[in-house]
């Protein structure tokens, strides 16, 4: 038996706002979903429960609700977190994503079910294009966040120039895209360490160590704002 899929994130205030902007009552929405999509179990009470955050629509219900409200599923979702949620937000069928990424459909479905992307670098780049992923989302969806954080920590604590190629390869972007961000990230880390040490006093070494660990623990948060146009 196939495991039930988790419900996608749902922005219930947005659902109500979009409905009211169209001048529709919950009953109108429910009727549209029943008549247009065969969801005979949907009632005005169902729609009201969604809008009050008391219940969450399934993926099929979310898609039908979005069509009834003349919006994209992404407008009714919170921030997508998984491969499946990004696909739903773009209103794409699994076949569309598999074809766009250049993978077999069954292989894609397994990756979506386990939330573990196993495509090649070329397929990963094609996936990002198909789903229109930002770089942070691309890294998260393809399971590369830990590896990227490891590379960035090494880049800021040693010579950042040696990490331009591996970071650009991991992100599937041109090397010029990451040269500036890596340089600024390195400068920010080194500057923070110097400022902490310059405080003087017996606690300066401990303070410096704490500041350094905090920066390295959150290195991805420091890195993404430095990458122009990719948030």
pLDDT tens across 199-223, in order? Answer: 555 455 555 567 788 999 999 999 9
Q: Which CATH superfamily is domain 83-141 in?
A: lambda repressor-like DNA-binding domains (1.10.260.40)
Q: How far is C-alpha 191 from the geometric centre of its chain's CA atoms?
A: 31
Calpha distance 210→207 (Å, rounded): 5
Domain ranges (residues) in the chain: 12-76, 83-141, 145-226
The answer to whether the CB of 75 falls within 8 A of the CB of 66 is yes
- Whole-prediction pTM value? 0.70
Q: What is the pLDDT of residue 178?
A: 95
Q: How big is the CA angle at 1 (ends 50 and 55), to the nearest 5 degrees? A: 10
Domain 12-76 part of CATH 2.40.37.10: no
DSSP string, 141-191: HTT-HHHHHHHHHHHHHS-GGGGHHHHHHHHTS-HHHHHHHHHHHHHHHHH
Distance of CA 214 to CAs 78, 166, 170, 197, 211, Å?
28, 24, 24, 15, 5
pLDDT tens across 167-197, in order? Answer: 999 998 889 999 999 999 999 999 888 776 6
- Which range of 2-11, 37-46, 185-194, 222-231 scores highest in mean pLDDT? It is 37-46
Q: How far is C-alpha 155 from the geometric centre of its chain's CA atoms?
A: 24
Calpha distance 61→10 (Å, rounded): 11
Residue 77 in tokens: 């979702």
pLDDT band of 15, cuts 50, 70, 90: very high
């Amino acid at each position: 038996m196939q495991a039930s899929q988790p419900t996608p994130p749902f922005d219930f205030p947005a659902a109500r706002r979009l409905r009211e902007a169209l001048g529709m009552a919950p009953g109108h929405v429910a009727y549209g979903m029943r008549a247009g999509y065969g969801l005979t179990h949907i009632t005005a009470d169902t729609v009201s429960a969604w809008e009050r955050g008391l219940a969450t629509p399934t993926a099929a219900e979310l898609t039908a609700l979005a069509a009834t409200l003349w919006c994209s599923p992404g407008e009714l979702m919170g921030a997508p977190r998984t491969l499946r949620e990004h696909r739903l937000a773009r209103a794409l069928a699994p076949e569309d994503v598999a074809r766009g990424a250049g993978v077999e459909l069954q292989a894609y479905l397994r990756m979506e079910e386990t939330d573990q992307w196993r495509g090649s670098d070329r397929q990963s780049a094609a996936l990002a294009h198909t789903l229109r992923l930002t770089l942070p989302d691309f890294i998260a969806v393809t399971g590369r966040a830990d590896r990227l954080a490891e590379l960035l920590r090494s880049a800021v604590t040693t010579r950042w120039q040696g990490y331009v190629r591996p970071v650009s390869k991991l992100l599937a972007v041109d090397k010029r895209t990451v040269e500036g961000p890596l340089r600024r990230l390195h400068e920010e880390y080194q500057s923070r360490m110097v400022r902490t040490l310059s405080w003087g006093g017996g606690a300066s070494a401990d303070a410096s160590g704490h500041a350094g660990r905090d920066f390295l623990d959150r290195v991805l948060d420091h890195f993404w704002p430095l990458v122009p146009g990719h948030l």
